[in-house]
Amino acid sequence: MAIKSVGVIGAGQMGNGIAHVFALAGYDVVINDVSAEALDRAPGIIAENIDRQVARGLVAEADRAAALGRIRTDGDLSALGQTDLVIEAATEREELKRNIFTALVPHLGPDTILTSNTSSISITRLASVTDRPEKFMGFHFMNPVPVMQLVELIRGIATDEETYETLKAVVEKLGKTSASAEDFPAFIVNRILMPMINEAIYTLYEGVGTVESIDVSLKLGANHPMGPLELADFIGLDTCLAIMNVLHEGLADTKYRPCPLLVKYVEAGWLGRKTQRGFYDYRGETPVPTR
């Protein structure tokens, strides 16, 4: 089916980024969020991010204006009912996501495709609360969405071929690359990335290295653009912990046990950049390690 209009649930960093790239690619976008404040901020944040692309010569000024004209916000979930594709980008909590889909389904047309931007949760389980598991998929964008080229496409047990091919074509229209993943905990990227980050935290926890030495070792020794602890702060330590818990519970292997230090940081509310403190303290001019 042809996708022309897109509903995005969640006006946070991921939701805004997803709306940004879809609007630039010519889709009409409706952003929904339970927070009126987040909805009020969303168009301005997207405009600022597109402005950066204009300044770098990546986007023409006319395309900027056209893209922003395609975006609207609405606090009523029913406003997404007439869209061709819905992308849920709410907080990484399964109960919350299931409740969103349960509330959304009565408002949908028969052909609307449902997707979740979840980074780890079972697509089959999420699809089971809807009336269209065959038209449900995982649609996992990487952060920051306008910059990162990959989109993971995850089929649930009931997802049909037409839905998969439709979303694969959408990814191509966005100018991004898709990777197909089976519906196992954390899929591909986070199945590999999060245990690496968790192991870096264990390396800190056990005193093998400092925050700085661990990060510089991976940047210079493995040619990673960011160190694992710096990356954890960027992703959000609460998100890292949530994914590790999904891996640990879903695969029942002790190698996925979240590091106690990661748990402690999340309990302290030190979640990384978004709270100004994580493995680094961001409240000054330059980040300073907190251990």
Q: Which residues are catalytic, by number?
A: 119, 140, 152, 190
Contact call for residues 237 and 278 (beta carbons, < 8 A): yes
Distance CA 94, CA 118 (A): 9
Q: Is 143 annotated as a binding residue?
A: yes
Q: Is 11 annotated as a binding residue?
A: yes
Q: Is 250 annotated as a binding residue?
A: no
Contact call for residues 34 and 45 (beta carbons, < 8 A): no
Q: Is 199 annotated as a binding residue?
A: no
Q: Please provide residue 34's backbone torsions phi and psi, each rounded to the nearest 5 degrees.
A: -75, -20
Q: Which residues contact 9 (CB under 8 A, 6 or more apart)?
A: 15, 32, 33, 77, 80, 86, 87, 88, 89, 90, 100, 104
Q: Is 242 annotated as a binding residue?
A: no
Distance CA 67, CA 34 (A): 24
Please report, for residues 8, 174, 278, the alpha-carbon distance to residue 169 in angstroms, rounded to integers and kept in the order given. Answer: 18, 9, 38
Token pair listed for 288? 């300073």
Q: Is 97 annotated as a binding residue?
A: yes
Query: How many CB atoms sit inside 10 A of residue 21's CB?
Result: 21
What DSSP designation does 81 have? T
Q: Is 33 annotated as a binding residue?
A: yes
Q: Is 116 annotated as a binding residue?
A: no
Q: Is 181 annotated as a binding residue?
A: no
Contact call for residues 236 and 274 (beta carbons, < 8 A): yes
What's the longest Cα–Cα distance across the chain? 56
Q: Is 149 annotated as a binding residue?
A: no
Q: Is 135 annotated as a binding residue?
A: no
Q: Is 276 annotated as a binding residue?
A: no
What DSSP designation does 271 have? -
Distance CA 290, CA 265 (A): 10
Q: Provide the annotated binding site for NAD(+).
A: 10-15, 33, 92, 97, 119, 143, 274
Q: Provide the annotated binding site.
A: 10-15, 33, 92, 97, 119, 143, 274
